[in-house]
A = this chain, B = another copy of it.
């Protein structure tokens, strides 16, 4: 292998696949990055067996070939420090590579390319295409509710519920449930549970216009022009999330409130409630406002009145303030609505969307029973 490329392109490529470089050293090859030169392209690949990422950049290929950089993470750190401009990269000995720039040379240890795992073959009946901006919003709005408790793997994932017309993501940790849905042009339908950590990494990598999704029973592929991202699927049955939603006819109280104002008040209350299971009490007062209170034996207590439009019955309930904050941070609308059915049933928070929006977001939160 012998190529010329720009430092900036090289860094982009290895940073993208770097998210899949394994930190554990069970299999040394998984700590490496595969670099292949072919057809005026450099293709980078890394995998930790949970995910695999491939990324390509333009390069001047003098001689095609492949190498594996042995310590992928350190290689990223080093390339970040290289001067801007052209980098000449050439394989030497059996596995190693030499980078040349200015009056300098960098000899990097390599591993046998034969040992590097192949990318799973891209295949799947169910597929579709969505704008990256929307795709990332769906992740952002659902990932907050995914469980971190590994004893129930299904709930550590985000469900991708794929239909012809809609892509829906769902996550729940049993205290709250998030559903974020958007129109798309899909083909086929299916349900796939992807590890939430993986979805988080994916949203950090994607920057191109749109993302193509191809889903199969064991793997889901996310593709842009430059990047192919493969994730394993978590096996298991995801519960019927629509069944959890309260019947619209049962709502007794409807609240409309400014998102930012509510967020700021809950932020303060949560600081005081931290010692106390983050319990924030909200009293919804008909036609008036929300009376918020929280207290900590060590710090003190807080009482605020927050302007809101409230229709229906007045009542009080207690919530985990951190869960409220998580939701308010991703509502992304000036006002939100909350539909309530008394102090012991879940409340439904939603952004106030425009008529023409082809999206829906629901954050369902269980109240806390307090004395």
A-to-B contact residues, CB < 8 Å: 70-71, 74-75, 77-78, 81-83, 96, 102-109, 264-265, 267-268, 271-272, 289, 298-306
- Chain A binding surface, main DSSP class: mixed
CB neighbours of A103 from chain B (8 A): 289, 304-306
Residue from B78, B81, B108, B272 within 8 A of A78 (CB atoms): B272
Tell me, rounded to whole Å, the shortest Cβ–Cβ distance linking A7 to chain B: 12
Residue from B81, B96, B104, B304 within 8 A of A267 (CB atoms): B81
Tell me, rounded to whole Å, the shortest Cβ–Cβ distance linking A274 to chain B: 8
A77 to B272, CA, bound (A): 10
A300 to B71, CA, bound (A): 10
13 contacts between A and B (CB under 8 A): A70-B298, A71-B299, A74-B271, A78-B299, A81-B264, A82-B268, A103-B304, A103-B306, A104-B303, A105-B302, A107-B301, A107-B303, A108-B299
Task: Knowing A78-B272, A104-B305, A305-B103, say if A109 contacts B264 (CB, 8 Å).
Answer: no
Q: Is the CB–CB distance between A71 and B304 below 8 Å?
A: no
Greatest chain B CB density within 10 A among A74, A298, A306 is at A74
Task: Knowing A71-B298, A74-B299, A109-B298, say if A264 contacts B83 (CB, 8 Å).
Answer: yes
Task: Knowing A96-B300, A109-B298, A264-B83, say if A271 contacts B78 (CB, 8 Å).
Answer: yes
- What 4 pairs between A and B have smallest CB-CB spacing? A104-B304, A103-B305, A108-B300, A107-B300
Q: Is the CB–CB distance between A268 and B305 below 8 Å?
A: no
Tell me, rounded to whole Å, the shortest Cβ–Cβ distance linking A303 to chain B: 5
A2 to B264, CA, bound (A): 26
Q: Is the CB–CB distance between B299 and A70 below 8 Å?
A: yes
Tell me, rounded to whole Å, the shortest Cβ–Cβ distance linking A307 to chain B: 8
Q: Is the CB–CB distance between B81 and A271 below 8 Å?
A: yes
A272 to B108, CA, bound (A): 10
Tell me, rounded to whole Å, the shortest Cβ–Cβ distance linking A32 to chain B: 12
Residue from B83, B109, B264, B298 within 8 A of A299 (CB atoms): B109
Task: Knowing A70-B298, A71-B299, say if A304 contacts B109 (CB, 8 Å).
Answer: no
